[in-house]
Amino acid sequence: MTRAFNFSAGPATLPESVLRQAQAEMLDWNGIGASIVEISHRSQDFIAVAAEAEADLRRLVGIPDDYAVLFLSGGATTHQALLALNFAGPGQVVDYVVTGHWGKTAIKQAKPYCTVNIAADGEAGGFHDIPSRDSWTLTPGAAYVHITANETIHGVEFRDTPDVGAVPLFADFSSSIASEPLDVSKYGVIYAGAQKNLGPVGVAVVIIRKDLFERSGQPRADIFDYRSHAARDSMLNTPPTWNWYLAGLVFKWMLAEGGVAEFARRNAVKSSLVYDAIDASGGFYRNEVAPAARSRMNIPFFLPDDTLNARFVAESKAAGLLALKGHKAVGGIRASLYNALPVEGAQALVDFMRDFQQRNG
């Protein structure tokens, strides 16, 4: 079997070695005579898997001891609501910097539980750039400032951590966590759906500075309370054990490959290959994002018309390049270059792009 290069924005490609290990262990994990998906989350076997996954993630990302790490069900959208419930008092202001579709979604989820101040919004410019820091209208005493570190649809990424003063910075890192070195200590909360760089869909990682647990937030059931989850080691209820296990395998793979520094190098190579091909195409391929804000993870681009866009998607699929159709909100083409996509995948895409332009330009 020859595996295609998968450019899906999420669920996304996983390392082949991880998939093969999971396949080999599916019926009999670690010689116990049962599958990992069948054993209790409270068994010593699974507790060891969970603890090892957390330790590996801490090592991989560089998470300090004064941060809790939670492995929870629900995607990033769920946690956009839970952030406000847990860390904003009734009616308290939360500042949002909106740089794309997922920033708007974060506001929608938070609005029932807090007063939203849109501190900066890139929509007027088509979400083609990050609003300059000096244009932000932050609220003194806000509960937190929220950003989306990387916008998968519009292909806009924060290349530096913004300084927001004493107010905690909360960030959705779903599509860029572990793709380059990250100073976790600059954030109050980092959260990420796993299905792009960390593992399969179905589990989210939430990294919380422990002093924030002192906030009372708003009345909520235990199941929506991060403190309760932290006190029970993410096992307040039955967790997504299969997804947690697979994420742990991905962490081990990343560490064995050289860690975040090595993936930062690979991701720079991959994204440069694709952007260079776009920029050298004489306008046949067009990326509209300001160069300083271009995402390394998700590269949207457009051909001269919709007919060519559709032809590109169909022919690339036939060539073994999957999931290149752009999001319905913007159209065009989108190449997602997450950690598990090898450099060879980006090169294969660039080769196809050049050939397609020669035949259709």
**250 and 166 inside one domain:** yes
Report yes or no: 246 and 111 within 8 Å, Cβ to Cβ: no
Q: Is residue 3 part of a domain?
A: no
**189 and 329 inside one domain:** no
**156 and 281 inside one domain:** no
Q: Is residue 10 part of a domain?
A: no
Give the end of a domain, one of 199, 224, 256: 256
pLDDT confidence band for 361 (50 / 70 / 90): confident
HEC readout, the chain: CCCCEECCCCCCCCCHHHHHHHHHHCCCHHHCCCCCCCCCCCCHHHHHHHHHHHHHHHHHHCCCCCEEEEEECCCHHHHHHHHHHHHCCCCCEEEEEECCHHHHHHHHHHHHHCEEEEEEECHHHCCCCCCCHHHCCCCCCCCCEEEECEECCCCEECCCCCCCCCCCEEEECCCCCCCCCCCHHHCCEEEEECCCCCCCCCCEEEEEEHHHHHCCCCCCCHHHCHHHHHHCCCCCCCCCHHHHHHHHHHHHHHHHHCHHHHHHHHHHHHHHHHHHHHHCCCCCCECCCCHHHECCCEEEEECCCHHHHHHHHHHHHHCCEECCECCCCCCCEEEECCCCCCHHHHHHHHHHHHHHHHHHC
pLDDT, tens digit, 9 for 90 and up, residues 305-338: 999 999 999 999 999 999 999 999 999 999 999 9
pLDDT, tens digit, 9 for 90 and up, residues 263-292: 999 999 999 999 999 999 999 999 999 999
Asked if pLDDT for residue 300 goes beyond 80, the answer is yes
Q: What is the CATH number of the domain that holds 268?
A: 3.90.1150.10
Domain membership of residue 65 as a residue range: 16-256
Q: Is residue 7 part of a domain?
A: no
**187 and 263 inside one domain:** no
**32 and 116 inside one domain:** yes
Q: What predicted TM-score, i.e. pTM, was given to this entire model?
A: 0.97
Tell me the average pLDDT across 135-156: 98
Give the end of a domain, one of 227, 256, 285: 256
Tell me the average pLDDT across 123-150: 97
**251 and 165 inside one domain:** yes
The pLDDT score that the predictor gives to residue 87 is 98
**144 and 182 inside one domain:** yes
**244 and 265 inside one domain:** no
Q: Pick the catalytic residue: 29, 56, 95, 102?
A: 102
Asked if pLDDT for residue 74 goes beyond 90, the answer is no
Report yes or no: 272 and 346 within 8 Å, Cβ to Cβ: no
Query: Mean pLDDT over all residues of the chain?
Result: 97
Q: What is the CATH number of the domain that holds 109?
A: 3.40.640.10
**185 and 289 inside one domain:** no
Q: Is residue 120 part of a domain?
A: yes
The pLDDT score that the predictor gives to residue 91 is 86
pLDDT, tens digit, 9 for 90 and up, residues 5-58: 999 999 999 999 999 999 999 999 999 999 999 999 999 999 999 999 999 999
HEC readout, 231-258: HCCCCCCCCCHHHHHHHHHHHHHHHHHC
Q: Is residue 335 part of a domain?
A: yes
The reply to whether 172 belongs to the active site is: yes
Q: Pick the catalytic residue: 121, 172, 252, 253?
A: 172
The reply to whether 196 belongs to the active site is: yes
Q: Is residue 198 part of a domain?
A: yes
Q: Is residue 298 part of a domain?
A: yes
Locus of tokens 């609003």? 131
**98 and 181 inside one domain:** yes
pLDDT, tens digit, 9 for 90 and up, residues 238-262: 999 999 999 999 999 999 999 999 9
**278 and 133 inside one domain:** no
pLDDT, tens digit, 9 for 90 and up, residues 209-230: 999 999 999 999 999 999 999 9
pLDDT over 90 percentage in the chain: 98
Give the end of a domain, one of 256, 276, 295: 256
**252 and 263 inside one domain:** no
The pLDDT score that the predictor gives to residue 210 is 98
Read off the tokens for 204: 């989210």
Look at the chain and report how many structural domains it folds into.
Answer: 2
Asked if pLDDT for residue 1 goes beyond 80, the answer is no
Asked if pLDDT for residue 2 goes beyond 90, the answer is no
pLDDT, tens digit, 9 for 90 and up, residues 81-134: 999 999 999 889 999 999 999 999 999 999 999 999 999 999 999 999 999 999
Q: Pick the catalytic residue: 56, 196, 244, 325?
A: 196
Q: Is residue 74 part of a domain?
A: yes
Asked if pLDDT for residue 357 goes beyond 80, the answer is yes
